[in-house]
Structure 1
Amino acid sequence: MEYIEIEKGLIPYRFEISLSDAVFTFEIQYNSDFDFFTVDLERDGELLATGVKLVYGVPLFTDCKDDRFPQEELIPFDLSSTTQEVTWTTLEETVFLYVLEGDSDE
């Protein structure tokens, strides 16, 4: 299963990734006071979403589904079932941001 690698040592940082036949820019932030990560999303220079929290088992951008967003589901998940939360300790250790193909009926 494919996942998006998040390089915690570079946070805060931006990177580009190809999804849904488009190039998106992700900006990853970390809130050390409350131990959570957020994502900003851009496409073609247009800011689509800011401060979207990585929540275990919940697809990113679920409240923002239109054709500008990735059609794949991006879900923080632990295939080993070791944990059920996204924290500094778990992200990129057991929890990864998996890419699942979106609904092809659209």
Structure 2
Amino acid sequence: MKIIEINKENLPERFDIELGVELFTMEVYYNQTGAFFTVDLYQYDNPEPLVLGEKLVLNQPLFRDIEDSRFPAPTLIPIDPSGKESRITWDNFGVTVFLVVDDGDE
């Protein structure tokens, strides 16, 4: 697993990331009213989004309800390696909760 480094102090943050053998662009947001994080996903160099506003839910893979061959092969999942957290919050994101790429290699 690989941690996707996100600086929550700079949100919204847009960056390119290699997932599997493809390059994607991700943008991470924080919704202050609802107190949750979301992700937008684009194929690299394509302005049309694959998905907008995917909510990060602890231990739930992103894009789990979408079947589309354009999406990345590895699983993106927010996890708490310590197992102590029950949800993602501003205070624990990037401290004890991380968005990781699970490509099946341990």
Structure 2: distance between partners of 1:51 and 1:17: 18
Q: Would you say the 8 A contact 2:56–2:62 is kept in 1? A: yes
What residue ranges of structure 1 are gaps of 5+ in the alignment? none
- TM-superposed CA distance for 1:99, in Å, is 1.1
Q: CA deviation at 1:13?
A: 1.8
Q: Distance in 1 between matches of 2:2 and 2:86?
A: 19
> Where do residues 7-26 of structure 1 align in structure 2 (5 Å cutoff)?
7-26=7-26
Structure 2, unmatched stretches of 5+, are none
Residue number in structure 1 paired with 2:54: 52
Q: Between the two structures, name the one with larger relative contact order (CA 8 Å, sep ≥ 6).
A: 2
Q: d(CA) in 1 for partners of 2:30 and 2:11?
A: 7
Q: Deviations over 1:44-83 (max 9, x none)?
A: 3131000000000100011123221111111111011121
TM-score of the superposition, structure 2-length normalised? 0.90
User: Aligned equivalents of 1:12 and 1:99: distance in 2?
Assistant: 20
The answer (yes or no) to whether the contact 1:77–1:84 under 8 Å persists in 2 is: no
State the distance in 2 between where 1:20 and 1:42 align: 15
- Secondary structure at the aligned position of 2:88 is classed as coil
The CA RMSD measured in Å over matched residues stands at 1.2
What secondary structure sits across from 1:50 in the alignment? strand
Map of 1:1-106 to 2, 5 A cutoff?
Answer: 1-44=1-44, 45=46, 46-101=48-103
TM-score (norm 1): 0.90
Instruction: Give identity over the alignment, percent.
Output: 47
* Number of positions where the alignment pairs a residue of Structure 1 with one of Structure 2: 102
